[in-house]
Amino acid sequence: MGSRRRRHAAIVALALGLSSACTSGPPPGFVGGTGEQWSIPLVGSLEHSLLLVPVTIDSKGPYLFAIDPDANITAVDEQIVKEGKFRTFQGPHLLDETDTQQIRFYAELSGIEMGSLIIERRNVMIVKRHTYDRQGRRIMGILGRDVLADSLVFGFDRDQALVHLLTVKAFKPPVGAIRIPFQLVGGRIPNIQVQPVPRRLVTATIGTESFAMHVDLGEYLSTLRESLWDKARLAAAAVRSGSIDEVGMPHKIEKVASGQPVAVGGITMDKVLFAPYEDKRWSETDVAGTLALDFFRDYNVWLHWDDKAIYLVKRTPVPLATRIARWDTGALEKCPNPGCVSVKLIDPMAGKELAPGAVHPGVVVSVTRDEPAGGMELEVTLEANGRPELPPLVVNMSPNGERVMEHLRGQWAGVTFTVVDASPFPRECRSATGCIDQIAR
């Protein structure tokens, strides 16, 4: 029979190989929903960010998880494992983007719930605390290909703020969808236990040049090999950022490039940023870079593994009530004000003229919670009416916070706001009551 550790390792190795085996119907252990399709609410769906969903594990949480179709297996922050006292074991080593084998430990989780989907049991990879934290959010794991399996179609709609999983049988391409086929290039790396998930390659035109690009829906920033920036006529700029690969290893990003339109399958996007593509697991002749979530920001996306195609549908705005309905939180639907907040702008110069050459001292935005939403964590997104050059404001309120205030520069004077989203998942704040952040477009 072998040792328990070896049996667990064998099970994990089988799970890690799911991406190469096509099956029909839902993966084992999937329950809930209709049995053919499931929906999961998105957190911060209108932001330029990762796809984030709330996940409950063994009745604890909910925790925020990111979605990464390139990860062989779901991964969790070690905090979840320790708090849940889940059994751990050593399993297959995994190859990171620097072409280095990383020792990995795994845990067996039970009772995984997200939206209408319940997964009875899964072996998952363990990562260090705070590995996935980004943009002020505590992100406790990623959902990988053991959830986004070959037998399912994966899609997301940022306006409805929902992720969808459907069986191949249940999926019907949306009316008017643009179909973009991709080619799979599998790993051919010798002497490793687990090959990386195959790359989904499309031909992209950057400026006037064509490149083989991997569709990467687990990252927001696209990439291109730096040796190709001149060929694509991209201009570089310094930044301070980073990314986490599907094995859980961090990578610095110190420069980006932009300046040319990017076209794939009949759609063209401007203002796409490219970080250097530095994944050493793939040869230069196979993969030139990636097209990430930023490239698809104006579209709802469906990824059909079996059909080897992505389907794109132009995004359509929906009423706030429709977006809020994704939450099973009655207070958000019962409050007198949209998003359960009232917003006031305080301008010390109201009715006064500035002296010649004087700079406006700025304004104060004050946000007060409605009584029906008292005692809950609350995040509300505000947009400045008729001022698209101004960034959205994200109001984060703790259960004890009834009002938050923030000083804004003079260009905000006279602005009125519209609530465009609300959720029970605020960012972490230095203040115990809450904070207001500006989110770059």
pLDDT in tens, 27-41: 888 998 888 999 999
| Same fold flag, 4-167 and 192-295 | yes
Domain boundaries, the chain: 4-167, 192-295, 320-438
pLDDT bracket for residue 221 (50, 70, 90): very high
pLDDT at 6 over 60: no
- Closest CA relative to residue 297, chosen from 168, 403, 437, 440: 440
Per-residue pLDDT averaged across 239-247, rounded? 95
Q: Using a pLDDT cut of 90, give the percent of the chain over it.
A: 85
pLDDT 10s digits, 390-410: 999 999 999 999 999 999 999
pLDDT bracket for residue 333 (50, 70, 90): confident
Q: Using a pLDDT cut of 70, give the percent of the chain over it.
A: 94
Per-residue pLDDT averaged across 122-136, rounded? 96
320-438 placed in CATH 1.10.150: no
* Residue whose structure tokens are 């990562």: 127
pLDDT bracket for residue 21 (50, 70, 90): very low
pLDDT 10s digits, 161-207: 999 999 999 999 999 999 999 999 999 899 999 999 999 999 999 99
pLDDT 10s digits, 64-82: 999 999 999 999 999 999 9
Output the CA–CA distances (angstroms, integers) from residue 325 to 14, 40, 155, 331, in the order listed: 38, 12, 19, 11
Q: What is the mean pLDDT of the chain?
A: 93
Could you please state the CATH topology (level 3) that the domain comprising 192-295 is classified under. Cathepsin D, subunit A; domain 1 (2.40.70)
Could you please state the CATH topology (level 3) that the domain comprising 4-167 is classified under. Cathepsin D, subunit A; domain 1 (2.40.70)
Output the CA–CA distances (angstroms, integers) from residue 211 to 208, 228, 229, 261, in the order listed: 10, 9, 11, 13
Length of the chain: 441
Q: What's the predicted TM-score (pTM) here?
A: 0.93
